[in-house]
Amino acid sequence: MKKKLYVATFGCQMNEYDSQRMVQMLSSDYELCKVPEEADLIIVNTCSIREKAENKVYSLVGRFRRLKDQNPDLKIAVTGCVAQQEGRRLQERAPFVDIVAGPQGIHSLPKALKEVHRGRQAVTLTTLQDDFVIPEIKAPLPEKDAVRTFITIMQGCNNFCTYCVVPYTRGREVSRPPAHIIDEAVRAVSQGVKEITLLGQNVNSYGKGLGTTFSGLLRSICNISGLKRVRFTTSHPKDLTQDIIDCFGDLVPLCEHLHLPVQSGSNRVLKRMNRKYSREHYLDIVERLRRRCPQIVLTTDLIVGSPGESDDDFEQTISLLKEVEFDQIFAFKYSPRPNTKAARFNDQVDEEIKSARLTQVLELQNEISLKKYGMLVGRTVEVLVEGVSRNGRGQLTARTRGNHVVNFHGPKELIGTFCNIVVEKAGYHSLVGSLLDPSSAPLHNGSKVFTLPLS
Ligand code: SAH
Ligand code: SF4
Ligand code: F3S
């Protein structure tokens, strides 16, 4: 009988992908269980992007420690970005943790497990190699009842934005060979996946050292027969070239949504962040994207209260939000991170100012989101039905090509299919609609227009 494995995942989609790969690597000996109390192995796959995420890890592993009293054979592994950052310190602070493995180290997890089972006290896998090669995993992909899936195309980051911990936790950029990515995508599609999101911290710089480019990979992925929807994240504005912009106009499976983190609207702050683009460059990209693909939906990340951000700098961010009108934003209060340059800047912003600025951007964005989402009311949109909504109203939840969540009443058999929905109501973060007669013609007819005009 197989042993039981419980995985708790924090952080970005790349961590979710890594968690799936760990399950895959361990699948000959372990199967997933739903609660940590049943587990023989608990993996906590951690994130270190902002302070709170880290604290959560320490309190969570503290809780898992007690389970060792009932099951002395239980092993606990802490993986991911906090593991990389803390290394041996983590084992000192939480000596009951058996394995500490950073994002590169997770591939040696099966071997490390054997060692701790043989009696070794603890294993730390936190060496970061600059010439790291992402290993291909021989075991079959996990069973996919998923409608959509992620595929990591590159690992690490070379950008060293001054606020960001990722280059220290995930190491240098390495791209997976296109053949491996395409093979994985083809297998996912043959297992029923309808939507694939290509992942990396900076996907636009994919292919360096492999003699290929991101737009080249994107074109190959969009050629896979049966694959209806393709997305990618995250893009760095400095690497978003015209050939990638053109893909939004050319490639039918490529969804009309781009998440393009701007971080700040002030050139002075962007410079201190080491972002390597200006406000004007960013606005020019937005204009070119909208010219090439008028229905494109844009979302962004931004940081308020980063070191030295003045009232005037912050106003520039506000004015950029008004100018671009993103559909959604993810806004964060700056949080100093270990090893980063910005943590050592001596003009840190007061916590109260950060909080007030965050409230202000979120209030402004709520207005903008409501306006943008409101523009879809009365329209028919094509959605991919993902599952049952968690809103408790017995609705299904689906997603438009523009990445808007739509909830509606319909039979569960629609999960995994494409439907046409008439949008009836807009909220800040989602839409409510009703199902159009299933026999109506699909909107996805090979053109790049997926929203019917207002009748
Ligand atoms: N690679 C992506 C994003 C990585 S992290 C990119 O380059 O855009 C996701 C988001 O977390 C970032 O876009 C940024 O807005 C936020 N973030 C990163 N470090 C942060 C910090 N120290 N404090 C607050 N927010 C941060
Ligand atoms: Fe962090 Fe910047 Fe790299 Fe994104 S591009 S992961 S923000 S260093
Ligand atoms: Fe977090 Fe590491 Fe992802 S810090 S956001 S899990 S790259």
Q: What is the CATH number of the domain that holds 37?
A: 3.40.50.12160
Please report which confidence band the pLDDT of residue 453 belongs to, taking 50, 70 and 90 as the band edges: very low
pLDDT higher than 90, residue 140: no
Between the CA of 43 and the centroid of ligand 3 the distance, in Å, is 16
Predicted local distance difference test score (pLDDT) of residue 445: 47
To the nearest 10°, the Cα dihedral for 40, 170, 301, 263?
150
pLDDT for position 54: 73
The answer to whether residues 327 and 393 belong to one domain is: no
- pLDDT of amino acid 136: 87
Pocket test for ligand 2, best of 158, 160, 166, 262 (most atoms within 8 A of CB): 166
Residues 52 and 135 in one domain: no
Q: How confident is the model at residue 452 (pLDDT cuts 50, 70, 90)?
A: very low
Which residue in 446, 383, 370, 428 sits closest to 410, CA to CA?
383
The candidate with the shortest Cα–Cα distance to 156, out of 178, 176, 138, 136, is 176
Residue 252 has pLDDT above 60, yes or no: yes
Show which of 211, 239, 255 is a domain's final residue: 255
In a domain? residue 222 = yes
pLDDT of residue 172: 95
| Cβ of 5 less than 6 Å from ligand 3 | no
Residue of 332, 341, 357 best suited for mutating to test ligand 1, as the one with most atoms within 8 Å of CB:
332
Average pLDDT for 233-258: 97
Q: What is the mean pLDDT of residues 185-214?
A: 94
Mean predicted confidence (pLDDT) in 232-254: 97
- For residue range 4-16, list pLDDT tens digits in order: 999 999 999 999 9
Q: What local confidence, expressed as pLDDT, does residue 131 receive?
A: 87
pLDDT of residue 401: 97
Confidence at 178, pLDDT banded by 50, 70, 90: very high
Q: Is 171 in the pocket of ligand 3 (CB under 6 A)?
A: no
- Of 47, 163, 164, the one to substitute when testing ligand 1's pocket (max ligand atoms within 8 A of C-beta) is 164
Q: Which atom of ligand 2 is nearest to the CA of 236?
A: 5
Q: Does the pLDDT value for residue 214 go beyond 70?
A: yes
Residue pair 440/381 in contact (Cβ under 8 Å)? The answer is no
Q: Do strands 396-400 and 380-388 pair parallel, antiparallel, or not at all (unpaired)?
A: antiparallel
Show the domain range for 399: 380-435
Q: Which of 75, 106, 125 is the last residue of a domain?
A: 125
Residues 409 and 429 in one domain: yes
pLDDT at 265 over 60: yes
Residue 447: what pLDDT?
A: 52
Q: What's the total number of domains in the chain?
A: 4
Whether 51 and 111 share a structural domain: yes
Please indicate, yes or no, if residue 22 is contained in any of the structural domains. yes
On whether residue 333 sits in a domain, the answer given is yes
- Among 255, 275, 309, where does a domain finish? 255
Across the range 100-111, mean pLDDT stands at: 96
Grade residue 219 by pLDDT with cuts at 50, 70 and 90.
very high
pLDDT tier for residue 455 given thresholds of 50, 70 and 90: very low
Find residue 426's DSSP bridge partners: 431
- pTM (two decimals): 0.94
Q: Which whole number is the average pLDDT over 71-91? A: 94
User: Which pLDDT belongs to residue 137?
Assistant: 82
Q: What is the mean pLDDT of the chain?
A: 93
Q: Is the peptide bond before 234 cis (omega within 30 degrees of 0)?
A: yes
Nearest-atom number in ligand 1 for the CA of 261 is 8
* Residue with CA closest to ligand 3 atom 6: 47
Tell me, using a 6 A CB cutoff, whether residue 263 lines ligand 1: yes
Instruction: Report the alpha-carbon distance of residue 450 to residue 455 in Å, rounded.
Output: 15
Predicted confidence at residue 440, as pLDDT, reads 63
CATH of residue 349's domain is 3.30.750.200
Q: What is the pLDDT of residue 393?
A: 85
Q: Which ligand is nearest to the CA of 46?
A: 3
What is the pLDDT at residue 19?
95
Burial 297-319 (b: 16+ CB within 10 A, else e): bbbbebbbbbbbbeeebbebbee
Does 63 lie in the same domain as 150? no
In this predicted structure, the answer to whether residue 198 has a pLDDT above a threshold of 50 is yes
User: Are 111 and 184 part of one and the same domain?
Assistant: no
Would the pLDDT of 446 be above 80? no
Q: Are residues 84 and 18 in the same domain?
A: yes
Q: Is the pLDDT of residue 143 over 80?
A: no
Does any domain span residue 26?
yes
Section 142-163 average pLDDT: 90
Asked, for residue 266, whether it belongs to a domain, the answer is no
166 C-alpha to center of ligand 2: Å? 6
Residue 426 domain-assigned (yes or no)? yes
Angstrom CA distances, 406 to 262, 397, 409, 443, 445, stand at 26, 6, 10, 16, 21
Looking at the fold, whether 141 and 251 belong to one and the same domain comes out as yes
Looking at the structure, tell me whether residues 243 and 357 fall in a common domain.
no
Q: Tell whether 114 and 149 lie within a shared domain.
A: no
Residue 280, domain member (yes or no): no
In b/e form, how buried is each residue of 143-152, taking b as 16+ CB within 10 angstroms? ebebbbbbbb
Same domain, yes or no: 137 and 117: no
Q: Is the pLDDT of residue 370 over 90?
A: yes
Residues forming a β-bridge with 8: 44
Kindly state the average pLDDT of the residues 141-166: 90
User: Which of 182-186, 225-229, 449-453 shows the lowest mean pLDDT across its residues?
Assistant: 449-453
Confidence of residue 208 (pLDDT cuts 50, 70, 90): confident
Q: In the chain, what percentage of residues exceed pLDDT 90?
A: 85
| pLDDT higher than 90, residue 441 | no
CA distance 342 to 410: 50
Q: Is residue 260 part of a domain?
A: no
Distance 123 CA to ligand 1 centre (A): 30
Instruction: Look at residue 372 in the predicted model and tell me its pLDDT.
Output: 97
Distance 184 CA to ligand 2 centre (A): 26
Q: Same domain, yes or no, for 140 and 192?
A: yes
What is the per-residue pLDDT for 166? 97
